[in-house]
Amino acid sequence: MAESPRLASLAMYRDPPVVAEATRGLWAFLRDRLRAAGLADVPEGLDEDIAHDAAWLDPRLLLAQTCGYPFMAQLQGRVRLVATPVYRHPGCEGVLNGSFVIVRTDAAAASVAELRGQVAAINDPGSNSGMNLLRHTVAPHASGGRFFRQVVESGSHRASIAMVARGDADVAAVDCVTFGNLARFAPELVAGVRILAETAKTPGLPLITRIGASDADLALLRGALDDFAADPAAARVRDVLGLGGFAQQPESAYAVVQALEREAAALGYPVLG
């Protein structure tokens, strides 16, 4: 079979392995529904080799998941919003997700203000959950544009958790979906940390397709997602993923992401540091 001109990548939540396998199950369901509905060139499987952010603007894109911060800062007008997942993990409220501010289990801090002068780990400078929400949370306590002694980039939420647990960092913000997945299926990875506080909440990680997708293709994608949310045969996969369904909302629903950024800047804290 010739290589499909379409691309599917669901790379934001693939840890631990049981979640990765369930994500493949989600795609298999969507694939079969899309093919049955007559959509051509639907890929057999997810592309698990392409970098998550490289998929977002790939002209072959059929479906991917991005983060709210790059969605607003880089992708507006360049992709189409398909849906917002509704997760059922602690810390999620309908379409809204927040992050947990975590410290070591034996950390003395009892409040965010007491983290002043410590070392923060972030998964990525462009992350809403790991950077933007943390910046907004500590901004009221910053002075002269500074709060932390140092900010280090870990590369992933899992790595941030490990850095805090080892003592290589003092604090991190980890999104509630990642934390929920690890707490359920790899509790040993979060055993060395505790939740100190919760951040503000913003809409969950959006599912997107290419800007050139037709309205008909968009409707097929949304219909397949709704079928997955309702089909009893998909119940186990939904449970593993902690998915309650998918919501359709306008892109403007994500404006709160940039509003939180502006609030931090108004407090004299435009850059996490």
> Would you kindly state where each structural domain of the chain is located, as residue ranges?
7-87+204-257, 93-202
Is residue 232 a contact partner of residue 200, using CB atoms and an 8 Å limit? no
The DSSP bridge pattern shows strands 207-210 and 96-97 to be: unpaired
| pLDDT given at position 4 | 60
Nearest to 123 by CA among 79, 196, 86, 70: 70
Evaluate whether 93 touches 232 at the Cβ level (below 8 Å): no
Report residue 135 as tokens.
């910046």
Provide the CATH number for the domain formed by 7-87+204-257 in this structure: 3.40.190.10
SS3 label, residue 191: coil
pLDDT band at 2 (very low <50, low <70, confident <90, very high): very low
| Same fold yes or no, 7-87+204-257 and 93-202 | yes
**111 pLDDT above the threshold of 60:** yes
Cβ neighbours of residue 215 closer than 8 Å, sequence gap 6 or more:
none
- Residue pLDDT, tens place only, 135-155: 999 999 999 999 999 999 999
**H or E stretch at 97:** strand 96-97
Whole-number pLDDT of residue 64: 98
pLDDT of residue 91: 95
pLDDT of residue 5: 81
CA distance 255 to 76: 11
Find where tokens 């892109």 sit: 251
CATH top-level class for 93-202?
A: alpha beta
pLDDT above 70: percentage of residues in the chain:
99
| Average pLDDT value for residue range 36-59 | 95
State the pLDDT at residue 1. Answer: 39
Q: Which two tokens stand for residue 181?
A: 């997945």
- Quick check: pTM over 0.75? yes
Helix segments in 113-175, DSSP class H: 133-138, 157-166
d(CA 214, CA 217) in angstroms, rounded, equals: 5
User: What are the C-alpha distances in Å from 200 to residues 129, 134, 165, 260?
Assistant: 10, 9, 24, 9
Q: 228: which 2 tokens? A: 């997955």
What pLDDT digit, counting tens, does each position of 227-255 carry? 999 999 999 999 999 999 999 999 999 99
> What is the 8-class DSSP label of residue 60?
T
Place of tokens 């997955």: 228
Enclosing H/E stretch for 122: strand 119-122
In this prediction, residue 41 carries a pLDDT of 95
pLDDT tens for each residue of 196-223 = 999 999 999 999 999 999 999 999 999 9
The pLDDT value given to residue 162? 98
Binning pLDDT at 50, 70 and 90, where does residue 156 land?
very high
Q: Which pLDDT value is given to residue 3?
A: 52
Helices (H), the chain: 17-36, 52-56, 68-73, 133-138, 157-166, 176-185, 215-230, 235-241, 255-266
Say how many CA atoms lie within 13 Å of 163 toward its Cβ: 22
